[in-house]
Amino acid sequence: MEFAVESLETPALTKAQLAELLFEQIGLNKRESKDMIDAFFDLIGGSLVEGQDVKISGFGNFQIRTKAPRPGRNPRTGEAIPIQARRVVTFHASHKLKEQIQGGDAER
């Protein structure tokens, strides 16, 4: 199933635009489309908050990484500031997505 996104007016793809695409191309009503998109992102976000990695086959992996504390500095004043340990989300695109971006003939 192909989705056409040429009609998008902004360079970013928003949740509202995804819901609109579900409405137009799949035939879900607007409320169902919005609820499905919200549930999808809530599921991904919840898994990441719990420390679980998320793999979307053919798209990529979202991983939680713990960064150690380190010394930093305020670039404006040069003052040394400690940077606290924190968890961050990283994204690694799948080989299939990378090939599609480069214009390769990845299987769809």
Q: Give the Cα separation of 59 and 11 in Å (integer).
A: 19
Give the CATH class of 53-108.
few secondary structures
Q: Tell me the C-alpha distance between 99 and 60, whole Å.
A: 12
State pTM to two decimals: 0.71
Sequence ranges of the chain with CATH classification 4.10.520.10: 12-52, 53-108
pLDDT of residue 46: 96
Q: What pLDDT is recorded for position 27?
A: 85
What pLDDT is stored for residue 5 in this prediction? Answer: 57
pLDDT tens-digit series, residues 38-57: 999 999 999 999 999 999 99
Question: Does the pLDDT at position 76 exceed 90?
Answer: yes
pLDDT tens string 58-75? 999 999 999 999 999 999
Question: What residue spans of 50-94 are helical by DSSP H?
Answer: none
- In Å, the largest CA–CA distance within the chain is 57
CATH of domain 12-52: 4.10.520.10
> What is the CB neighbour count within 10 angstroms for residue 65?
10
Model pLDDT, residue 4: 57
Q: Which amino acid is at 74?
A: N
